[in-house]
A and B are shown apart, each in its own frame.
Chain A
């Protein structure tokens, strides 16, 4: 029971963090069809802006300014780079954002050094929210979860329930038609990209204080964020949320389980044989928990190629 409760708690929060980072990526892909490789770089940028402002002014100021600043960077990237290569198709957009990711990484190293920086949460947030089975549960984890939930609700309401949402969705579905109705499509795309980048910036400012802020953080989270988006269905916000939570829960539960193929075969009396063979048979689930998201992605791609909630199933 203890195991289940603690694992669920940890898994849900980690899932919400993944959602927070991948929300902007989903938004940009869903609305613009751009697979933004530099997305995790915006996340990293957010963390470093948060760190700089937390040191100079205050943690909360960083939390507000980071998304604005990163959003502005996103707008500039869309206006002066992506728009120019848009006509040449997806491959060019992909390569451009990939190049940007490399440049951002080196720039961060240039200005902040190769090592992790000391970005920490403020002392007033550093306390235990409650105690569960003798272990303190840090409040900041709940804070991360809350920010993610607020982000999801706000995005969902914005897209599904407001006039802006209608225009954005129209611009994605039928750009020519929306344009002839008098809407400025390039402006809409620029705005969407800016908001997507800003969301990543906010995620960086929030999560960077909990996880190490270093020049590799984009690389570390970048891959898993793509897994989330693919599993959830490219472009589906709800799908991303579900996929994030699934990955969070799977990772969290698998860590506590020492299951191996040998123990499975032990159920039918082949356990000793499998133990003696070793290798793959004795590899425990907990030691490969990092690969579970990728296994999940593989299965999803085979069963539902467009993802859990993708459009083209």
Chain B
């Protein structure tokens, strides 16, 4: 419906336009706005809108306010492919998407093909949170930018900070979901073993979000006797695992990557206290102005996938300042080249784009759950307290050999 309204607005704008009307920059958010991942899709959308509102308040781009249109991919790659075609038909210049690596894989491939077939009329894809390694590996291309961490970045930061706090121990149990993300996590956990000074006592993969009963896994963890359990699990798989562990009286520390998903802390309750999280940002890490500004506009402090999205749109805003089309046609390649060179000063440190694979080099924030936190979450008195911020240079990993990027001339 919102898309329809936006289209109507856009078409009336065209109808009323004088011949010299500038071309507005059009941003399409192809997100999961219905179905099981709606909650995450909405957060991405809200944060993109917030960032674009700031640009528009400062005068927009190319003499026009930036237009944002939402497309609902219904959580699947088929829906995403359809919506991408629609977005191209609507004249979208930049696509934003973040939830689900499967959808991202579809979109990045569609964007790549579109750009081969339509030279001079390219589309750019800013990936806000799909962390599959292949997106900056064999699927990498010039018009894809990942403004998010990946498994090795999160694990390296987590291991460093937990070891520095003396909470890591020497025996680590790896439990992850059996798909690209979980497999990336498992590889990262095994690779970080030497640097972190631990031994991976057992590595388990399990089905994604189809296991209701984690008690048997907890029995396995108990038998392996680890000090720390590191997991990339999200949603139910994380909640059920943590609950089952606490109910079995298991005395382990959890190192997680998605504990900040809204609802998790409320659901886990006191079970969550002391567990670690490695992500892009928690409010406790940044200045109050940044957090308050978002709260005043949206209604809550920036959480989960919102901060990295705000950073991505902020970086885009700086790139747009570097290009000037004088009210004429928009050249997406020029914007992409400008974005590559942007050094975005986020509240936790600079974020830059690595030219070889378009992965961002960015700080990773490691925090743990405490009672009486400065920024409590989920209407509880629990929240995330920063343990350390690992700089981009320390968290980044080498470019994957599989990435062969063709640059525009």
Residues of A within 8 A of B (CB): 2-3, 6-7, 10-11, 13-14, 17, 109, 113-118, 120, 128, 131, 133-138, 140-141, 210-212, 214-216, 219-221, 224, 248, 251-253, 255-256, 284, 286-291
CB distance from B33 to the nearest CB of A (A): 11
Given contacts A255-B206, A286-B204, contact A116 B249 (CB under 8 A): no
B220→A109 contact, CB < 8 A: no
A211→B215 contact, CB < 8 A: no
The interface centre, meaning the residue of B206, B211, B212 with most chain A CB atoms within 10 A of its CB, is B212
The distance in angstroms between the C-alpha atoms of A291 and B39, with both chains bound, is 27
A135→B205 contact, CB < 8 A: no
Is the C-beta of B218 less than 8 angstroms from some C-beta in chain A? yes
Contacts of A255 in B (CB 8 A): 206, 216-217, 220
Is the C-beta of B187 less than 8 angstroms from some C-beta in chain A? no
Q: List 4 additional A-B contacts (Cβ < 8 Å) besides A115-B261, A289-B207.
A: A10-B213, A17-B213, A128-B249, A288-B207
The distance in angstroms between the C-alpha atoms of A238 and B207, with both chains bound, is 29
Given contacts A10-B219, A287-B205, A289-B206, contact A118 B378 (CB under 8 A): yes
Which are the 6 A-B pairs with shortest beta-carbon distances?
A290-B207, A115-B263, A114-B39, A136-B249, A116-B263, A118-B266
Q: Give me 16 A-to-B residue pairs in the complex whose CB atoms sit less than 8 angstroms apart, sorted by A's number.
A: A118-B263, A118-B267, A118-B269, A135-B218, A140-B247, A210-B243, A211-B212, A224-B212, A251-B211, A251-B213, A255-B206, A256-B216, A256-B219, A286-B206, A287-B204, A287-B207
B263→A7 contact, CB < 8 A: no
Secondary structure of the A contact surface, majority rule: helix
Indicate which residue in B178, B210, B219, B263 contacts A117 across the interface (CB closer than 8 Å): B263
Is the C-beta of B239 less than 8 angstroms from some C-beta in chain A? yes
The distance in angstroms between the C-alpha atoms of A84 and B268, with both chains bound, is 44
Residues of B within 8 A of A (CB): 36, 38-39, 42, 178, 204-207, 209-213, 215-220, 222-223, 236, 239-240, 243, 247-250, 261-264, 266-267, 269, 378-380
A14→B222 contact, CB < 8 A: no
The distance in angstroms between the C-alpha atoms of A109 and B267, with both chains bound, is 17
The distance in angstroms between the C-alpha atoms of A116 and B248, with both chains bound, is 22
Contacts of B215 in A (CB 8 A): 10, 13-14, 141, 252
CB distance from A252 to the nearest CB of B (A): 5
The distance in angstroms between the C-alpha atoms of A224 and B209, with both chains bound, is 12
Contacts of B42 in A (CB 8 A): 114
B264→A252 contact, CB < 8 A: no
Contacts of A113 in B (CB 8 A): 39
Given contacts A220-B236, A286-B206, A290-B207, contact A7 B219 (CB under 8 A): yes
A136→B38 contact, CB < 8 A: no
A291→B266 contact, CB < 8 A: no
CB distance from A300 to the nearest CB of B (A): 19
Contacts of A117 in B (CB 8 A): 263, 266-267
A137→B38 contact, CB < 8 A: no
